[in-house]
Structure 1
């Protein structure tokens, strides 16, 4: 006979079984939140203009096995790039170009864009070095690529659509913030890394110069 006490025991057993089942089917590879230190670089130009570039509030939320295969990885990255000018060209303004470099089984931890980084070997004086504006990348061992965060659509002088990878700031300071920018990597069967960069162009009355800040490399799994 099923009395109230037996019914309570039966219900408790069903709930416990359900809870165990939910635990058993939980995903094995949970997302990993990685706070990153950002960084700062200060450069004095030849005319006395002091350029300070900062990367603050940087983080990555990493899913190491998107698609349940070892060659798929996915991450969502966030951060803010800040620029301050002082000295001779304190009101010059400039351009801010943020992005990321991603490598598959290649060292991208150097002081610049070395290590086989495709399209990012010379940031000084050249901001259009072939990097894409998409974070969806396919890389094999020993390969690395860079991509820009920004993809601003605007009409050119002839009314045609053009895409800009920079943010313009005027006066002595400017910033660009991004949140949950996707890095999707396929084809990499080994370890993979990524790192942020912020490239800044400053044009004063007497000098044109580039300053690049590199963030700390972090693992994509």
Structure 2
């Protein structure tokens, strides 16, 4: 004789196991994706003979399912280190390091130029002597439509100005011939982009010597936000 209570218990266990497996599968599909990035290096000789070396090292991105849980949302946490070295045979006055990211929605940010309706113009010019036109505030919570790009700086250093008021700086200033800065788990939160999205790190360095004040920019490798 079949015990219907036992059958019900077995069936119930099977259903619960199916639900559990379904949840596990969903979690696996939505797991974070760690993307190691190669960083880079650029060496530029200035008009007065000064040699500037800019490096991007330890670069990575952790792509995460968006809390918005819709195709128009993206989340990523990015990390890296930037350094600058000035070699001119004498003591350099120093410089400023501006690390940041350019994010694009359905636009190629791998080369040439990016004309972003939301973020001004990024002219790569072979990666040298370029200061990105950054129109976003510090922080990577961006809203972009198709064909738009925006750049932002990752640093937000709070200091007092000459009048004692709160001031925010987007650079790390150094004196002498070298300086560096590191950032970890900076957020890129993108909304409004229904197509493919990419991001790309940049490190802009303002160099100051006895004879020259100029910019040198290093671009990292583009990576997909999904």
TM over 0.5: yes
1:25 matched to 2:23? The reply is yes
The alignment of Structure 1 onto Structure 2 pairs a total of residues equal to 208
Moved more, 200-209 or 56-65: 56-65
Aligned position for 2:139: 134
SS at match of 1:140: coil
Q: Which blocks of at least 5 consecutive residues in structure 1 are unaligned?
A: 1-9
> What is aligned with 1:78?
79
Asked if the contact 1:82/1:176 (under 8 Å) is kept, the reply is yes
CA distance in 2, matches of 1:130, 1:68: 27
Name the CA distance, whole Å, in 1 between partners of 2:133 and 2:159. Answer: 17
Q: Does 1:159 align with 2:160?
A: no
CA positional deviation for 1:100 = 0.3
2:184 maps to 1:179? yes
C-alpha separation between the residues in 2 aligned to 1:126 and 1:53? 14
| C-alpha distance 170-31 of structure 1, shift in aligned 2 (>3 A) | same
Q: What CA deviation, in whole Å up to 9, does each residue of 1:163-213 have, x standing for no partner?
A: 110001112211110111010000000000000000000111111110000
Equivalent position of 2:6 in the other structure: none
Distance change in 2, residues 1:136/1:106 (3 Å): same
Question: Which residue in the other structure is 1:116 paired with?
Answer: 115
Q: TM-score, normalised by structure 1?
A: 0.85
Gaps of 5+ in 2: 1-8
More off after superposition, 168-177 vs 183-192: 168-177
Q: Describe the SS at the equivalent of 1:115.
A: strand
Contact 2:60 2:80 in 1 (8 A): yes
Q: Aligned ranges for residues 182-193 of structure 1 at < 5 Å? A: 182-193=187-198
Q: Match of 1:76, SS?
A: strand
Spell out, residue by residue over 1:88-119, the C-alpha distance to the aligned partner (whole angstroms, 9 max, x if none).
455331100000000000111115xx221424
Instruction: Report what 2:47 is aligned to.
Output: 46
RMSD: 2.4
Q: Partner of 1:23: helix, strand, or coil? A: helix
Contact 1:89 / 1:204 at 8 angstroms: preserved in 2?
Answer: no
- CA shift for structure 1 position 78: 0.5
Q: Residue 21 of structure 1: CA displacement?
A: 3.9
TM score, norm. by length of structure 2: 0.83
